[in-house]
Structure 1
């Protein structure tokens, strides 16, 4: 079993909350631990957003609990009414679900068993909840800071490598169909995970002007990298779906499709390596010429099949999406290549790309 950073941070936040409550003299300290569990977030920016929302929710919950207890007592139906009112107001304010949970905890611990000096009792309970939120916020900032650029790059490149391997196999008719059938849904889920990592990376904030510019360009770069990954995956699925129709095309056409996709996948690999400094130049002139020439030849060969192979009209229409995806894939790779080159032209001096080895 692998323990991730969020698991460790949750444990540390609970420990810190309990010790802080005991040191200050607030009792019982486990109320602070409960609130700390709601405040751990996957990124520093989300943690900042969360603490703002949870402070609002906690203040609202405490205010409702105090007013309802003074006005109506602390019977179960009164607590239920207070909870319903709090949920309605928080939803109206469009706060996160964790804010609702925290507000409900605050209401229940204040109204559950009020002491003799109710206002002091409510203040102590409110302070315990806030202490837990603060402990979680500090742990989230100081310990195990997220490195989403590193995670995103490696997950995306590993996934791209896997899709490219499957595509090479299917172009050579060496695929284990059962294995590919099982892997396609898993790869699709992994692409969704990569997209979620990208959103977390995009949410991270930079506060220095130069870092903001670097971050903005990286956000655009990673978005285009994910787009390129999605297109090679689309090609894999299309070839898998129409493999039989492709097999019935003239041999020259099959060779042209295989050659062009192979060249584009090599081009894709080279761009990703260029981003981390493992390749120090753009696409060589002869390779670039072959890629561009291959695109023209593929289109010409495809139209030739349409004009001369009248008996293959059904196969032609089925293969049309495959050829369209290949050409679109090339367009996205060329755009990605330009983005990478542009990035290094602006940030060559300060060496702005840092991908840590895992």
Structure 2
């Protein structure tokens, strides 16, 4: 079993919250540990936002709890009623994420107690807030998430999987049903990559220069995902029209295989260029492959060779040809974006070679 950074950070946050609560001699340090569990977030920005939202939610919860105890007492019925009111207020304010911890605050404050109630209530409130701030400190200082590195390698690994199945499909040795299940798995993985992209996007940079660089990186990564999706589209077409493809004239099949192989190689090299494993002077060129015009001419020429009863196959090959042209256009655009980025940020070495942090 692999223990991710978020698991470790949750443990560290609990230890820190409990330790600080004991050091400050708070009577119920467990509430600080509970609050730390709720406050751990996958990104630093989310952690910061959680502190603000939980502070707001806990102030509401504490205020209602104190008001109920002073007016009605701490009967269990009023604890439930106060919790319902807290939920309603948070829903109205669209801060549903704070509901759980706000209710914990209500219960902590309305618990049976002796002595000065207001002192007790404020101590419980600050105990909960101590847990939230402990989680924020841990999230900020310990094992900060490296979403850029994860994002690049997940896109790269996913692309390699697609290349592999494209090559198998064009060689006519594939099992269509098996490839169909691989396509579905790849689509699901792409959704996860897009979610990772959103996490990377929402994290904020502290300095203006880094923020500008990240804005350009976001454009590059978005194009990487789009280009990978276009490669997947070719695999889908090859799988769907495998029989029709292998009934086409030999020249057409060979040319399509060579063009796809050429584009895959270009795609690989451009992505390696981004992490500076290939010279920055490398540029995408279609000189080695055939042009769009030549590919269209080849497609049009096979219409004369295909029998009338197989005319439907021509429309399927048109879809495949169109997907290949679209893939090439996106590879070219990706290459342009990466070249532009590296010309503006020649000293950007933030993208490490190995992924060392997993949530």
Which TM-score applies when normalising by structure 2?
0.94
Other-structure match for 1:222: 221
Residues 1-358 of structure 1 correspond to what in structure 2 (within 5 A)?
A: 1-97=1-97, 99-281=98-280, 288-291=286-289, 293-306=290-303, 309=306, 311=308, 312-348=310-346, 350-358=347-355
Deviations 1:150-169 (A, max 9, x none): 11111111111111111111
Secondary structure of 2:26's partner? coil
Q: CA deviation at 1:248?
A: 1.7
In the alignment, structure 2 segments of 5+ residues that lack a partner are: none
User: Aligned equivalents of 1:188 and 1:128: distance in 2?
Assistant: 45
3-state SS, counterpart of residue 288 of structure 1: coil
Count how many residue pairs are aligned between Structure 1 and Structure 2.
354
Structure 1 portions without partners, runs of 5+: none
RMSD between aligned alpha carbons?
Answer: 1.7
Q: Deviation string for 1:255-292 (max 9, x for gaps)?
A: 2221211111111001001111111155568x52133x
**TM-score, normalization by structure 1:** 0.94
Is the 1:14–1:37 contact (alpha carbons within 8 Å) kept by the matching residues of 2?
A: yes
Q: Distance in 2 between matches of 1:142 and 1:96?
A: 27
Residues 193-243 of structure 1 show CA distances to partners (whole Å, capped at 9, x for unaligned) of 111111111112112221111111111101100111111112111211111
Mapped to 2, the partners of 1:225 and 1:316 lie a distance apart of 31
Q: Is the 8 A contact 2:51 2:133 kept in 1?
A: yes
The answer to whether the 8 Å contact 1:32/1:132 transfers is: yes
DSSP 3-state at the match of 1:144: coil
How has the CA–CA distance of structure 1 residues 325 and 353 changed in structure 2, closer, same or farther, with 3 Å as cutoff? farther
Residues 149 and 355 of structure 1 are in contact (CA less than 8 Å); yes or no, is this contact kept in structure 2?
no
Deviations 1:124-179 (A, max 9, x none): 11011001001101111110011111111111111111111111111111224454
Offset at residue 319 of structure 1 (A): 2.6
- CA–CA distance in 1 between the matches of 2:295 and 2:56? 61
CA distance in 1, matches of 2:180, 2:286: 34
Contact 1:260 1:294 in 2 (8 A): no
Q: 8 Å contact 2:65–2:82 — kept in the other structure?
A: yes
**Higher helix proportion:** 1
CA contact (8 A) 1:58 1:106 kept: yes
Distance 2:306 2:45 in 1: 59
Q: Which moved more, 1:322-331 or 1:173-182?
A: 173-182
Q: What is the DSSP-based 3-state SS (H/G/I as helix, E as strand, rest coil) of the residue aligned with 2:239? A: helix
